[in-house]
Copies of this chain bind each other. A is one copy, B any other.
Amino acid sequence: MNPPHPSSAAAALLPFLLLLPHLLTAAAAPPPRPHPLNPLTPDELTLVSSTLTNSSTLTPPFTIHYVGLDDPDKPAVLSYAYSSPKTPAPPRRALVIARASRQNHRILVDLSTATVVEHVIVPNSVGFPTLTFEEQGEANNLPFGEPRFLESLRRRRLKAGEVVCGSFTVGWYGGGGGPKRRRVVRVMCYYKEGTVNVYMRPIEGLSLTVDLDEMRVIGFLDREVVPVPKAQGTDYREAAQDGPPRPKINPIGLVQPNGPSFTVDQHIISWAGWLFHLSFDARAGAIISLASIYDQQTRERRQVMYRGFISELFVPYMDLTEEWYFRTFLDAGEYGFGLCTFPLQPLRDCPENAVFMDGYIAGQDGTPVLMPNVFCVFERYAGDIMWRHTEALIPNITIREVRPEITLVVRTVSSVGNYDYIVDWEFKQSGSINVKVGLTGLLEVRGTKYTNMGQLTDEEYGILLAENTLGARHDHFVTFHLDLDIDEPPNSFVKTTFQTTRVMYPNKSPRKSYWRVVEKTAKTESEARVKLGSGQGDLLIVNPNKKTKVGNQVGYRLIPGSVTRPLLSVDDYPQIRAAFTNYNVWVTPYNKSEKWAGGLFTDESRGEDTLYTWSQRNRRIENKDIVLWYNLGIHHAPYQEDFPLMPTITDGFELRPTNFFESNPVLNVIPPEPVTWSNCSTAKAITMEWYLTSY
């Protein structure tokens, strides 16, 4: 969490805005038939903005909190993508979430007719939209016009010019259902003197409450004076490092002298039999759609995943003090996981052979904003082995066959305030999809008077990472929406158990036990829920209407990463809002409206519109078009190595073909020729070209 400062936001937007005219002309001649899932172009964003202004839908002043493609009907998209001849593309519509006259507005704009086709006012009791950069920036500036705040800084001997503030969503802690409900944030501040690592220098005990609609301070609290942790050793910039330099690593690179093996056609990426659509969304970030793989054995293109994206993140902190208890963020719904996606740095965030792609969002006033280099796409060779065997059993021959593992990675990095989330969608030639989430960036630390662990009590909710610096414990739950269509819908969800079985008749075998696989197809949503670590076997999405030649159901299986279960009480307010994390795995029937696990209006939500509540209907899911939801979780108890900046922690999961292919689909992979250095001029040119296009 935590937003950019307004002026920096402005600063950030400036270059993009300058670029825009050129881009608009570039975009002025769009392809005859845009793919129905393409994100809104700058033209379309402008069209949405003007449509709203021209229509009397919203009484000014209004703020636009989200503009994105409204999902076209799935059957229409499927037939557009897979039927031949192609059926016409379904109509393109934009979904707009706006705030006007203290109300939530949900608006659909038809892009072909430039008309508002739907306008719904959603009661404030449900929750509020994603915060905009601009309003966070304004809120972060308010303290500096607040005499009590400036007095508090003086009391602490802090220079106002060295203070920066951030807006913290406040969650929900009971009641508040009435129409008088206010859209507020708590504003808390940091001291940057001597460092850029402001998160390591919190000014504790001091907070303001801001009404975002009125954009004014409605509450002020100076509870206690706590020492501000010192700046020394917190600055992470290369230039700020002193002391002896570390042993240097020789240049090392991932290179492709002849260029990459994948093609990008608008938003369609094609590689090694894989075909998928990549788009950018202000709320979700990367969205992978229509992932299909060409089956060489059956010589057909086969559907795997209709859509995959990060639906929500839940980041609750385990600290009950006044300025901390409410820090139970739903990052995607409250701050916009896509909105917080910043440009990737060539040769640092992505290797030499990476190709970069841009995204667009709408500003608070509806203006299209370019987000450069939000994606990088590259082929990954990590020195790993796809498969191998050395055979020495056969007389007079020794066989050694080895295939290196080369994969395709789509990467985004979202910096939600202090935290940086590295999200990789990795496609393997074997048909697997690996999803990895890397957590790095800066911890939220709490200032304290203590300088040694000996002084601490249990109640301090953390350990000392440095003098006056407590590392706050917290969780990260990343909720993935995985709409798998294994050989097209309908599909079923099958849970297997590896069940220890006693040998009943001693004369039958000298063995006393073995394990067998017990399969159970989930008939309803409740039967599908899984808490990991409870001894489950494999978790499969199968197509019950298709079998392999020898009669196995075709499917994919979910291979989870680390086993992390939620630890908050189910009746605790944050957990009620984030009840979608009560289980690691959920399966629901496909429903166009069930997209955001934490609800469409997430800020200050009360858990009324979540994956949990949808799932309470306990619908039938057997042999239906179903969606798999996976909660990747990390309990983070910080240690000193996380100070002042965390080395990346990575977790992930895999979707792996499971009796999907008749046999190993990569047996006939041709090992790539070794890199030759003969044509480095080409290579150089290519590398430089990518490097330049990325600026």
Residue from B257, B383, B399 in contact with A237 in the complex, judged by beta carbons closer than 8 Å: B399
Contact B253 A255 (CB under 8 A): yes
For residue A442, which residues in chain B have a CB less than 8 angstroms away from its CB? Answer: 389
Binds B, one of A35-43, A58-66, A512-520: A512-520
Q: Is A227 an interface residue (CB 8 A)?
A: no
In A636-673, the 8 Å CB interface with B consists of 637, 639-648, 650, 656-673
For residue A403, which residues in chain B have a CB less than 8 angstroms away from its CB? Answer: 348
Residue from B5, B258, B388, B514 in contact with A320 in the complex, judged by beta carbons closer than 8 Å: B514
Bin the interface of chain A by size: 35 or more
For residue A392, which residues in chain B have a CB less than 8 angstroms away from its CB? Answer: 3-5, 8-9, 12, 342, 415
Q: How far is the CB of A131 from chain B (nearest CB, A)?
A: 14
Q: How far is the CB of A635 from chain B (nearest CB, A)?
A: 5
Return the chain B residue nearest A244 by Cβ.
Answer: B296
Binds B, one of A92-100, A279-287, A457-465: A457-465
A373-404 Cβ-contact flags toward B at 8 Å (1 or 0): 00000111111111111111111111111111
Q: Is A510 an interface residue (CB 8 A)?
A: yes
CA distance A395 to B11 in the complex (A): 8
Contact A510 B326 (CB under 8 A): yes
Contact B251 A257 (CB under 8 A): yes
Q: How far is the CB of A493 from chain B (nearest CB, A)?
A: 17
Q: Is A34 an interface residue (CB 8 A)?
A: no
Contact B675 A677 (CB under 8 A): no
Binds B, one of A106-114, A581-589, A680-688: A680-688
Q: Is A28 an interface residue (CB 8 A)?
A: no
Q: Is A368 an interface residue (CB 8 A)?
A: no
A210-234 Cβ-contact flags toward B at 8 Å (1 or 0): 0000000000000000000000010
Contact B383 A350 (CB under 8 A): yes
Oligomer: number of copies: 2
Contact B390 A342 (CB under 8 A): yes
Contact B255 A250 (CB under 8 A): no
Return the chain B residue nearest A272 by Cβ.
Answer: B247
Q: Is A626 an interface residue (CB 8 A)?
A: no
Q: How far is the CB of A332 from chain B (nearest CB, A)?
A: 18
- Interface hub of A140, A466, A669 (most chain B Cβ within 10 A): A669
In A556-609, the 8 Å CB interface with B consists of 563, 565, 567-569, 571-575
Q: Is A21 an interface residue (CB 8 A)?
A: no
Q: A502-B569, A511-B320 are in contact. Are A383 and B400 (CB under 8 A)?
A: no
Return the chain B residue nearest A453 by Cβ.
Answer: B551
Contact B567 A515 (CB under 8 A): yes
Binds B, one of A47-55, A148-156, A405-413: A405-413
CA distance A393 to B253 in the complex (A): 33
A60-80 Cβ-contact flags toward B at 8 Å (1 or 0): 000000000000000000000
Q: A259-B250, A664-B647, A667-B236 are in contact. Are A394 and B196 (CB under 8 A)?
A: yes
Return the chain B residue nearest A560 by Cβ.
Answer: B562
Residue from B406, B550, B664 in contact with A249 in the complex, judged by beta carbons closer than 8 Å: B406
- Interface hub of A399, A465, A510 (most chain B Cβ within 10 A): A510
Residue from B351, B463, B661 in contact with A381 in the complex, judged by beta carbons closer than 8 Å: B351
Binds B, one of A301-309, A530-538, A615-623: A530-538
CA distance A296 to B233 in the complex (A): 14
Q: Is A422 an interface residue (CB 8 A)?
A: yes
Contact A452 B245 (CB under 8 A): no
Return the chain B residue nearest A637 by Cβ.
Answer: B517
For residue A673, which residues in chain B have a CB less than 8 angstroms away from its CB? Answer: 251
A490-505 Cβ-contact flags toward B at 8 Å (1 or 0): 0000001010101100
Contact A512 B394 (CB under 8 A): no
CA distance A388 to B386 in the complex (A): 29
Return the chain B residue nearest A274 by Cβ.
Answer: B247
Return the chain B residue nearest A318 by Cβ.
Answer: B514
Residue from B5, B381, B657, B659 in contact with A393 in the complex, judged by beta carbons closer than 8 Å: B5
Q: Is A205 an interface residue (CB 8 A)?
A: no
For residue A291, which residues in chain B have a CB less than 8 angstroms away from its CB? Answer: none
Contacts A380-B383, A500-B568 aside, 9 further interface pairs with beta carbons under 8 A come to: A173-B510, A198-B393, A246-B669, A325-B510, A351-B383, A385-B438, A390-B420, A535-B565, A647-B664
Question: Could you jot down 25 A-B contacts, CB within 8 Å?
Answer: A4-B392, A8-B396, A12-B398, A196-B391, A247-B261, A250-B260, A250-B672, A252-B381, A320-B511, A348-B388, A349-B388, A352-B674, A380-B383, A382-B383, A383-B409, A384-B438, A386-B648, A388-B422, A389-B441, A391-B415, A512-B572, A513-B575, A533-B533, A533-B563, A644-B664
